[in-house]
Amino acid sequence: MHLSTQFWKLVNTVPVVLLLSSPVLADYKWPSPQIDALERLLYEGTEFSGFPIATLATNCVERAADSPSPIAAEWLRLAYHDMATFNITAGTGGIDSSIYFELDRDENVGAGMVNSMNDFFNTPNKYISRSDVIGMGAAWGVAGCGGPVIPYRGGRVDATTAGRPGVPQPQEDLATHTQDFALQGFTPTEMISLVACGHTIGGVRKSDFPTVVTEGEPGVDTDPNGVLIINMFDTTQHYDPNVVTEYLNNSTQNPLIVTDDVSRRSDLRIFSSDGNVTMNSIADPASFANTCQSLLTRMIHTVPTGVQLTDAVQLNPFKIRVAQITVINGQVVLRVMVRLPQPQSGPNPFQITKNVTIFWCDRYGVNANCAGNHTNSASAQIVTFIGIQSPIADALDTHFSTFEFRAPLTNASASSFWFEVTDSTVPGTVVQNNGGGGYVIEQDTLIYSPDLSTTSQVGDTVNYNIVAGVLGNIEPTSAQLNIFDRQPINNTFPISLPLFSTANFTQDTTIASVGGYVFYSTTITINSQGATVDFDFVVNGKDLKLDFIAPVEILVNHI
């Protein structure tokens, strides 16, 4: 149900002062499930379970005390090795997660590959592919080490088999390297820059390349303190041009330049291939950052022909994180959570100065759709500062606060909602109305109740009892739960294909009716915390759906 044009003309007469410097998302309308999911993960960096996956790259942190290479370097390497299967002539390969089927190749040697895959085990979901996460991990890693923000687009499609071999190896000659990069779509000049952009963080493990890194006892991969022997590419673990400047001033420690095994001095052959013209051109920080931003943007968006990527995912300055009619504590409520960004810098970075009020229209009765300009309103019951965000949000000087509403509903229910936002530091009021049409609630006949849903555990298996409500005493002719899980079973590689399964709801007479809703439940198990479910009911001849529900959020109470 949509509001009248006259009503929105009235609402839009409220004086407006722009509170945020974030770009307006001119083409965005809520809901947009894929964009909503991508934006939340890209900037908040948190999985459904509440685990802040992106923070593993924050501050270029090392994986462990005995493994001094940054996690970010492993994520960046994973992305390049996945992309390296691209064939520009055939339009095949690219970042498509085929790397998960290619770990048996010498070109993909290294514990960092499996480490990264394990990092991302629970991150993909219905709207974010495994290959989307690989590209996002590279962007997080670069930003987490102080590098440029890489514009990010989603929509990659996961491969189901291995791609062609294509990763350059240290022992190969310059002609082979040049040919490999050309097939990936890069010129000789771009090859030089891209290698430098990839080798400004991280290093080479002795366990992976024992003829390149020869320190310590033969066959022993750790030093006397038990720390893995890794020769770093330069003297800083920061995304900077030191890998370039140290090469140019002959102080480099880059093992692929100075190794005693001359046949494996691949960086030396590549960097010097044009007489150092390119290396000199990217030696200053601004040139290095701009060049790497451009090349890495191309790299993470190299996909097979026919794959349609989204536009660049921008930070949403007013994000609807949750919007549902549901049952909480025995009462039908309109539950909405919105997220607002605020600067990390400034005199009071942790002070929430904004106030958000929700307004909504009745769905039924004489005031349906705000007839006669009748509206309902409520203030946020729960205001929370989110203290964790992705390295990309950090680079944009942004962290977040959320405002949650749990507005009791009468039999009139709700058809749409909108907001007014004020800021104690800025005069005026901002109306947030989804570009003018309000945030529309398409139906209230079928609802999901996380509050009534439960979990139980037997050994390592968690069972999720999912509860749906149907309005009125009308038995559904079909009540199905569709389960989608991208994750490998038992964390094995090569990976299994995505799991599609179904379960049927039955009426749950142990739950008393609330507000005219009769409840149905089903119990499922899932392989991973990234699994999602969709409700698919037929009630009174109407096909009703609820999309993209994460069962794990019942367990962790994190939405």
- Measure the CA–CA gap between 197 and 417, rounded to whole angstroms: 47
- Measure the CA–CA gap between 417 and 439, rounded to whole angstroms: 5
pLDDT tens-place string over residues 366-404: 999 999 999 999 999 999 999 899 999 999 999 999 999
pLDDT of 4 higher than 50: no
Pairing type for strands 532-539 and 542-549 reads: antiparallel
Tokens of 24: 């307006």
Going by pLDDT thresholds of 50, 70 and 90, the confidence category of residue 557 is: low
Tokens of 417: 């909602």
Query: Mean per-residue pLDDT for 432-458?
Result: 95
Torsion of CA 29, 34, 38, 41, to 10 degrees: 100
% pLDDT > 90, the chain: 82
- Measure the CA–CA gap between 399 and 388, rounded to whole angstroms: 7
Q: Identify the pLDDT of residue 416.
A: 98
Q: What angle do CA 29, 535, 437 make, to 5 degrees?
A: 20
pLDDT of 269 higher than 50: yes
CATH topology for 446-556 is Immunoglobulin-like (2.60.40)
pLDDT tens-place string over residues 418-444: 999 999 999 999 999 999 999 999 999
Residue 470: Cβ-neighbour burial (10 angstroms; 0-12, 13-18, 19+): buried
Going by pLDDT thresholds of 50, 70 and 90, the confidence category of residue 347 is: confident
Beta strands, E only, 128-208: 203-205
**Right CATH for 33-300 from 1.10.630.10, 2.20.70.10, 3.40.50.1820, 1.10.520.10:** 1.10.520.10
Query: Mean per-residue pLDDT for 243-268?
Result: 98
Q: Which residues contact 154 (CB under 8 A, 6 or more apart)?
A: 34, 35, 38, 127, 128, 132, 309, 310, 313
- Measure the CA–CA gap between 255 and 259, rounded to whole angstroms: 5
Of 21 and 516, more confident = 516
Residue 43 near residue 149 (C-beta atoms within 8 A): no
pLDDT of 471 higher than 50: yes
Tokens of 148: 């440029």
pLDDT of 332 higher than 80: yes
Of 9-18, 275-284, 336-345, the poorest mean pLDDT is in 9-18
Superfamily of domain 5-25+314-440: Carbohydrate binding type-21 domain (2.60.40.2440)
Query: Mean per-residue pLDDT for 527-533?
Result: 86
Tokens of 140: 């997080």
pLDDT tens-place string over residues 33-49: 999 999 999 999 999 88
Q: Identify the pLDDT of residue 10.
A: 37
pLDDT of 1 higher than 60: no
Q: Identify the pLDDT of residue 326.
A: 97
- The HSE-up count of residue 307 (CA atoms within 13 Å, CB side) is 22
Going by pLDDT thresholds of 50, 70 and 90, the confidence category of residue 528 is: confident
Say which residue the tokens 């997220």 belong to. Answer: 339
Going by pLDDT thresholds of 50, 70 and 90, the confidence category of residue 488 is: low
Tokens of 37: 């999911």
pLDDT of 231 higher than 90: yes
Beta strands, E only, 182-330: 203-205, 230-232, 319-328
- 337: three-class secondary structure by DSSP: strand
Asked if 5-25+314-440 and 446-556 have one fold, the answer is: yes
Q: Identify the pLDDT of residue 498.
A: 73
Q: Identify the pLDDT of residue 494.
A: 62
Of 74-88, 376-390, 398-412, 493-507, the poorest mean pLDDT is in 493-507
Listed residue (128, 137, 123, 134) closest to 50, CA to CA: 123
pLDDT tens-place string over residues 181-227: 999 999 999 999 999 999 999 999 999 999 999 998 888 889 988 99
DSSP state of 457: E
- The HSE-up count of residue 364 (CA atoms within 13 Å, CB side) is 8
Provide the residue ranges of all domains of the chain, joining segments of one domain with +: 5-25+314-440, 33-300, 446-556
Query: Mean per-residue pLDDT for 159-182?
Result: 97
Q: Identify the pLDDT of residue 216.
A: 87
The pTM score is 0.94
Report the largest interatomic distance among the alpha carbons of the chain, rounded to a whole angstrom: 85
